[in-house]
Amino acid sequence: MKILLKNARMVNEGAITEGDLLIKGDRIEQIDTHISPRTSNFRVLDLEGRYLIPGIIDDQVHFREPGLTHKGDIASESRAAIAGGITSYMEQPNTKPAALTQELLEEKYQRAAQVSLANYSFNMGVSEDNLDEVLKTDPKRVAGIKVFMGSSTGNMLVENEKVLNDLFANAPTMIITHCEDEATINRNFQEYHAKYGDHIPFSAHPLIRSEEACYKSSSYAISLAKKHNARLHVFHISTAKEAEQFSNSKPLHKKLITSEVCIHHLWFSDEDYDSKGAFIKWNPAVKTAQDRDGLWKALLNDKIDVIATDHAPHTLAEKQNPYTSAPSGGPLVQHALVAMLENHLRGRISLEKIVEKMCHNPAILFQVKERGYLREGYKADLAVFDLSNPWTVNSENILSKCGWSPFENSSFRARVVHTFVNGQWVYKNGKIDESVRGERLLFDRD
In a domain, 196, yes or no: yes
In a domain, 31, yes or no: no
What element of type H or E holds 12? strand 2-12
In a domain, 378, yes or no: no
What does the CA dihedral 177, 181, 183, 186 come to, rounded to 10 degrees? Answer: -100
In a domain, 292, yes or no: yes
Per-residue pLDDT tens digits of the chain, which is 446 residues long = 799 999 999 999 999 999 999 999 999 999 999 999 877 788 999 999 999 999 999 999 999 999 999 999 999 999 999 999 999 999 999 999 999 999 999 999 999 999 999 999 999 999 999 999 999 999 999 999 999 986 555 567 888 999 999 999 999 999 999 999 999 999 999 999 999 999 999 999 999 999 999 999 999 999 999 999 999 999 999 999 999 999 999 999 999 999 999 999 999 999 999 999 999 999 999 999 999 999 999 999 999 999 999 999 999 999 999 999 999 999 999 999 999 999 999 999 999 999 999 999 999 999 999 999 999 999 999 999 999 999 999 999 999 999 999 999 999 999 999 999 999 999 999 999 999 999 999 999 98
CB-CB contact of 59 with 90 (8 Å): yes
Which of 1, 5, 36 shows the shortest CA–CA distance to 18?
5
Domain count, the chain: 1
In a domain, 127, yes or no: yes
Which residues constitute the domain of residue 193?
A: 56-366
Which of 362, 272, 350, 264 shows the shortest CA–CA distance to 309?
264
In a domain, 33, yes or no: no
CATH code for the domain of 136: 3.20.20.140
Give CA–CA dist 352/363, Å, rounded: 15
In a domain, 177, yes or no: yes
In a domain, 410, yes or no: no
Predicted TM-score (pTM) above 0.85: yes
